[in-house]
C-alpha cells in the first residue's frame, strides 16, 4: 500500500505519517524511516533533532539518504513499512547537489520511489505543498516547484490513500474507506 501525505511547512504531516506507519506495521515487519533532509543551517538542525525525538517512541530503523534513494532498496524487506520523509528534500538534494542545477530529476526520483514501493509492504510518503502563492519566482525556484508538483501528482496517482495535513487535521482526497479499514482514522 502507498499513502501520500502532503501539507505546508510544520502542518503536522510528519507526525501523522509516523503514527500511521506505526499502526500499519502492527502486524510485523520492520518500521523504516528514510530521512532525506540535508541540513543547511541551525534551523534545519533543530528540525531534524525534533523529528528524531518524535520518532524515537516508534523504534524506526533510520536511513539518512539524501539522494539516489533507489540505493536503499537492497536494505529493505518485503514485510517492512517505510516512511519516506520527504520528497521535497529529495527533490532539493537531487536538483542542487552539484555546481550546476539539474532540472531533470523527475524520472530518477519516481523510479526510486516506485522501486521502494514494490519492495515493501507499505510505503508512506511525505511531501510539502508549496504551490499556494501567486508569486512568480526565478527559474530555479519555478523549476523546483514544477518538479515537485509533477512528482507529487504522479505519486498521488499511484497511491491508495492521498491526504493533506492542515494543522494536524486531515483532509482525505482518496482512500477514505481504506483508512478506516486499516484503523488509521
> Which residues are annotated as catalytic?
51
CA pair distance 59, 62, nearest whole angstrom: 9
Report the chain's terminal Cα–Cα distance, integer Å.
Answer: 16
Those residues whose C-beta lies under 8 Å from the C-beta of residue 21, and which sit 6 or more positions away, are 31, 33, 58, 60, 81, 82, 83, 122, 124
Annotated binding site for GTP: 7-14, 64, 85
Annotated binding site: 7-14, 64, 85
The DSSP secondary-structure symbol of 27 reads G
Backbone angles phi, psi at 125, to 5 degrees: -115, 130
Beta strand ranges found along 14-168 (DSSP E):
31-35, 61-64, 81-85, 122-128, 161-166
Amino acid at each position: 500500500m502507498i499513502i501520500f501525505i502532503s501539507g505546508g511547512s510544520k502542518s503536522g504531516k510528519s507526525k501523522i505519517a509516523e503514527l500511521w506507519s506505526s499502526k500499519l506495521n502492527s502486524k510485523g515487519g520492520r518500521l523504516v524511516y528514510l530521512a532525506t533532509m540535508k541540513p543547511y543551517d541551525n534551523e534545519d538542525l533543530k528540525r531534524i533533532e525534533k523529528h528524531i525525538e518524535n520518532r524515537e517512541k516508534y523504534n524506526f530503523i533510520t536511513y539518512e539518504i539524501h539522494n539516489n534513494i533507489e540505493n536503499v532498496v537492497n536494505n529493505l524487506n518485503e514485510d517492512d513499512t517505510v516512511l519516506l520523509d520527504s520528497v521535497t528534500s529529495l527533490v532539493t538534494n537531487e536538483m542542487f547537489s552539484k555546481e550546476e542545477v539539474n532540472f531533470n530529476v523527475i524520472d530518477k526520483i519516481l523510479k526510486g520511489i516506485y522501486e521502494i514501493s514494490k519492495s515493501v509492504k507499505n510505503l508512506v510518503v511525505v511531501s510539502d505543498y508549496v504551490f499556494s502563492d501567486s508569486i512568480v519566482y526565478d527559474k530555479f525556484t519555478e523549476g523546483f516547484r514544477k518538479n515537485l508538483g509533477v512528482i507529487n501528482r504522479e505519486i498521488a496517482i499511484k497511491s491508495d490513500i492521498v491526504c493533506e495535513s492542515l494543522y494536524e487535521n486531515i483532509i482525505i482526497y482518496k482512500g477514505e474507506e481504506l483508512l478506516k479499514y486499516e484503523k488509521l482514522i
